[in-house]
Amino acid sequence: MLAVLRTPLGLSAAALLLLVLALAVLAPIVWGAQATAVDTDAIQQGPSGAHLLGTDALGRDLLARTLVATRLSIGLALLAMLIGVAVGTVLGTAPTVLPRRTGRLVVAVVNIAVAFPGLLLALFFAVVFGVGTTGAVLAIGFATAPGFARVAQTLSASVAGRDYVAAARIAGVGRLRVLVRHVLPNIAEPLVVNATIGAGAALLSFAGLSFLGIGVQAPSYDWGRLLGDGLNRIYTNPAAALGPGVAVVLAGLAFNLCGETIAAALGQRTPLRRLLSRRPTPAPAATGEPEPAGAVLRVEQLSVRFPTAAGWAEPVRGVTFTLGAGEAVGVVGESGSGKSLTALAAARLIERPGVVVADRLEFAGRPLLSTPERELRTLLGTSLAMVFQDPATSFNPTRRIGRQLAEVAQEHQGLGRRGAFTRAIERLAQVRVPAPAKRAHQYPHEFSGGMRQRAMIGMGLMGTPRLIIADEPTTALDVTVQRQVLRLLDQVRRDTAAAVLLISHDIAVVAQTCDRVLVMYAGRIVEDLPAAGLTERARHPYTRALLAVVPDLAADRDQPLGVIAGRPPEPTALPVGCAFAPRCGFATERCRAADPVLASADDGHRVACWHPVTDGTAGGITRRGAAPVSRRREYADE
Ligand SMILES: Nc1ncnc2c1ncn2[C@@H]1O[C@H](COP(=O)(O)OP(=O)(O)OP(=O)(O)O)[C@@H](O)[C@H]1O
């Protein structure tokens, strides 16, 4: 929050708001008497040294009256806002608590109310509640409520669908309690931001009602009334209208800027700059990384960091690897080891507040971290293909598959609508989607999971891909379709000489499909080795363990499946030394004291371990019923 206050936006918001609030408190005390003092000798005067904004019909000083009106104007606007927020929140969250039919009725009422312009509603309520201050406050409060109700409804509906709410419901927690305990605390922040910005709007509405004569009534006065009086004399003394007008604008601005500042502070809870100065200890630099000729992707000391309440989390630490043209490299590791983030960083898909740092991050010879956004979009749009895990969410459900594929060619290759669609059909045929001309006109839901994944690969082929990143592309598919998709990826690689980065938690899949395997653990590459002869060559105890726990057809089905005992560390709580040491049967004091460098073991093989395994053991890992390591070879080479 303090960091945001130090930005120009935060500073202006804080200064303006302080000024407005100070005036609201002090002005009636300091200028109260002057504002009501009638001077019949100075009636309706223009600006002068004694009266900077001139005087009104009773000779009262207009500047003093404008300053004194701050309290009433701000107070009433805030009161109206409070009513709006309270009524809006109740209406918005009611569907979560009420029986379904009544809830729907409330939603319908809110939808109808939202359709009416706010000021029209305020006028309607002002007539209902009667002319005067109370009526105006209620009118504006009720007029702003539908907008809030809509925001609260959307927010609470998204929270109500979360697993923890479902869990609370299953546990028998009552609806009202779920609302108070689980829903409200999770929607409070955006509501506060909206309320602060809304206070500015309420101020304007209030000034509007008073200006129209249905708000504050004489002898009370707010900025709206002063503005109304001033406008009657606009040609003789423009300053009389200008003063309250400027006050309304400045106070409205103060609330709006304040809302924006709170939003910025909430979106960036952790003072980024302070956290950045506390950089995490860098992972030891890798050495002896083989550099294939014509490298498509070069990654050196890549780290991905996220600010958390406890400081920086670094789920990817000092990752170094190179991907040659036509090479297929698999990335394996348990859930949370940083595989996807590494791939996302390579595709420049890490969003703020995530931070990507690297000594080198080059794709097709271009530095990704310094290439301008526009050039980057063209480069990645034509040369990089991504295949995601869930084929159900990879495509926009409202657009035909063919059109989605064609968009790539239209955007980046300057093809016309028809030409791009024809190419889309060709690409669907290339990825063996049956009846491609017909299928191109279908929507994603009309495709099976495997077919969608193939269409996704086809989308990558719309350009001239040099790298295909496939992040768990077969996890959501059944085994036979898995094989088809993997074969297709392999075929595409051979046809186009594109490099493939295949992310998987299944080391057997990777061993079958790739030339090289990168094994990740707690954000680091712990081993980089050729896929051929993986089982004999694996040196890191973690790789051995991953291989040992793969079940195969020859495994004894009476025995429980193999497991690696323990859990990987959280990115925010990495142990000193080797992160795998707490789970490793070979760990010594040295492992617990210092993180080993990823160093060349032999040709094309790197391992980060103080005690690399050289015999056929499973790395000293607790194994329950896993097949012997030597048997893995048959599976991998199958
Ligand atoms: N936006 C984020 N903010 C903070 N932490 C994140 C963010 N995205 C990922 N992480 C953390 O980074 C770690 C690595 O995530 P990543 O998705 O790369 O793992 P993974 O190896 O691909 O796992 P999986 O196989 O489950 O997809 C996880 O602990 C995750 O909680």
Query: What pLDDT is recorded for position 633?
Result: 32
For ligand 1, atom 16, which residue shows the shortest CA distance? 338
- To test ligand 1's pocket by mutation, which of 275, 303, 308, 335 has the most ligand atoms within 8 angstroms of CB? 335
CB atoms within 10 A of CB 161: 9
Query: What pLDDT is recorded for position 548?
Result: 80
Alpha-carbon Rg for the chain, nearest whole angstrom, is: 33
Tokens of 57: 């019909």
Query: What pLDDT is recorded for position 615?
Result: 67
User: What topology is assigned to 296-396+449-513 in CATH?
Assistant: Rossmann fold (3.40.50)
Helix (H) or strand (E) holding 316: strand 311-324
Tokens of 387: 């295949």
Residue 442 CA to ligand 1 centre (angstroms): 34
Query: What pLDDT is recorded for position 628?
Result: 34
Q: Where are the domains of the chain?
A: 2-36+54-267, 296-396+449-513, 530-636
Average pLDDT, the chain: 82
User: How many residues can be counted in the chain?
Assistant: 638
For ligand 1, atom 25, which residue shows the shortest CA distance? 335
Residue 590 CA to ligand 1 centre (angstroms): 28
Residue ranges of the chain with per-residue pLDDT less than 50: 268-279, 619-638
Q: Which atom of ligand 1 is nearest to the CA of 389?
A: 27
Which residues does residue 517 pair with via DSSP β-bridges, in sequence order?
Answer: 330, 529
> Angle formed by the axes of helices 100-115 and 62-97, to 10°?
150
Residue 315 CA to ligand 1 centre (angstroms): 7
Residue 337 CA to ligand 1 centre (angstroms): 7
Contact 395, 406 (CB under 8 A): no
Pairing between strand 366-367 and 360-363? antiparallel
Q: Please choose, from the candidates 250, 229, 239, 256, the residue with its C-alpha nearest in 3D space to the C-alpha of residue 73.
A: 250
Q: Residues 2-36+54-267: name the CATH superfamily.
A: MetI-like (1.10.3720.10)
CA–CA dist 370, 376 (Å, integer): 9
- To test ligand 1's pocket by mutation, which of 319, 331, 339, 567 has the most ligand atoms within 8 angstroms of CB? 339
Residue 341 CA to ligand 1 centre (angstroms): 6
Query: What pLDDT is recorded for position 409?
Result: 81
Place of tokens 């999770």: 186
Residue 80 CA to ligand 1 centre (angstroms): 44
Q: Which atom of ligand 1 is nearest to the CA of 350?
A: 1
- To test ligand 1's pocket by mutation, which of 269, 312, 317, 337 has the most ligand atoms within 8 angstroms of CB? 337
Pocket of ligand 1 (CB under 6 A): 306, 313, 315, 333, 335-341, 354, 505, 571
